[in-house]
Structure 1
Amino acid sequence: MCWTIERIIHFSNEQKIIDGYCHFGFHDQYGNQYILDHDHHWIGGIDKDSGQLYWTAGQKTQEAWVRHVHVDLLNPTYLSTIDKETVVVVSSGNKKIFKINFIIGYVELLIDGEKWGLKDIGNCEYDPSGFLWVNEVTGCRVHKFNLDGERIIILGNGEPGFQEGTVSFENVQFNWIYDLRRGPDGNIYVLDSKNYCVRMINPISGEVERVAGNGKSGYSGDGGLAIHATFGSNYAEQFDGPWSLSLDEEGNLYIGDTQNHVVRMVDRKTGIISTIAGTNQLTDVTNHSPSSEPINPLELQLLRICSLDYADSLLFIPEWNGDLIVLGKSPNKLHPTENRKSSKN
Structure 2
Amino acid sequence: VIDAPAPNGPGACAEGVEPVQCPDGPNGPSGKYTCGDPMEYCSKPCTPGYSGDEIPATELRMSQPFGQSASPAGRIVFDPQGNLYFADTGNHLIRMIDTDGIVHRVAGQPPVDGVPQSGYAGDGGPAVDAQLNFPVDLAFGDDGTLYFTDVRNHCVRAIDPAGNISTAVGICGEHGYEGDYGPPQEALLNLVFGIEWADGRLIVSDTGNNVIRSVLLP
Q: Same fold (TM over 0.5)?
A: yes
Q: Is the Cα contact below 8 Å between 2:177 and 2:189 reproduced in 1? A: no
Q: 2:164 aligns with which of 261, 272, 282?
A: 272
Equivalent runs, 1:120-131 vs 2, <5 Å: none
1:300 aligns with 2:192: no
User: By how many angstroms is 1:115 displaced?
Assistant: 2.3
| Cα RMSD after superposing both structures | 2.6
Q: 1:317 to 1:161 in 2, by over 3 A?
A: same
Q: Is the Cα contact below 8 Å between 1:189 and 1:200 reproduced in 2? A: yes
Q: Which amino acid aligns with 2:60?
A: V
Q: 1:325 to 1:190 in 2, by over 3 A?
A: same
Q: Is the Cα contact below 8 Å between 2:154 and 2:192 reproduced in 1? A: yes
CA distance in 2, matches of 1:200, 1:158: 20
Q: Is the Cα contact below 8 Å between 1:185 and 1:251 reproduced in 2? A: no
1:316 aligns with 2:209: no
CA distance in 2, matches of 1:112, 1:209: 22
CA distance in 2, matches of 1:112, 1:259: 27
Aligned to 1:171: 59
SS in 2 for 1:302: coil
SS in 2 for 1:308: strand
More helix by share: 2
Q: Is the Cα contact below 8 Å between 1:314 and 1:327 reproduced in 2? A: yes
Q: 1:227 aligns with which of 94, 111, 128?
A: 128
Q: Which amino acid aligns with 2:14?
A: N
CA distance in 2, matches of 1:267, 1:212: 11
SS in 2 for 1:198: strand
Aligned to 2:78: 182
User: By how many angstroms is 1:113 displaced?
Assistant: 6.0
Aligned to 2:49: 161
CA distance in 2, matches of 1:245, 1:251: 12
| Percent of residue pairs identical | 28
Q: Which amino acid aligns with 1:305?
A: V
Q: 1:249 to 1:288 in 2, by over 3 A?
A: closer
1:252 aligns with 2:120: no
Aligned to 1:261: 154
Q: Which amino acid aligns with 1:195?
A: N
Q: Is the Cα contact below 8 Å between 2:179 and 2:186 reproduced in 1? A: no
Q: Which amino acid aligns with 2:96?
A: M
1:209 aligns with 2:110: no
Aligned to 1:15: none
Unaligned runs of 5+ in 1: 1-110, 117-143, 233-240, 331-345
Q: Which amino acid aligns with 1:200?
A: M
Q: 1:231 to 1:112 in 2, by over 3 A?
A: closer
Q: Could you list the runs of 4 or more consecutive aligned residues of structure 1 that deviate by over 6 angstroms after TM superposition?
A: none
Query: What's the CA shift string for 1:93-152, capped at 9, x where partnerless?
Result: xxxxxxxxxxxxxxxxxx996325xxxxxxxxxxxxxxxxxxxxxxxxxxx733568565
SS in 2 for 1:259: helix
User: By how many angstroms is 1:226 displaced?
Assistant: 0.4
CA distance in 2, matches of 1:187, 1:252: 14
Unaligned runs of 5+ in 2: 1-5, 20-34, 65-69, 111-116
TM-score, L = length of structure 1:
0.46
Aligned to 1:70: none
Aligned to 2:13: 145
Query: What's the CA shift string for 1:138-197, capped at 9, x where partnerless?
Result: xxxxxx73356856568x841212144311123211000443222222121110011111
Q: 1:298 to 1:145 in 2, by over 3 A?
A: same
Q: Which amino acid aligns with 1:262?
A: C
Q: Which structure carries more relative contact order (alpha carbon 8 Å, separation 6+)?
A: 1
Aligned to 1:242: 135
1:192 aligns with 2:88: yes
Q: 1:190 to 1:160 in 2, by over 3 A?
A: same
Q: 1:150 to 1:198 in 2, by over 3 A?
A: farther
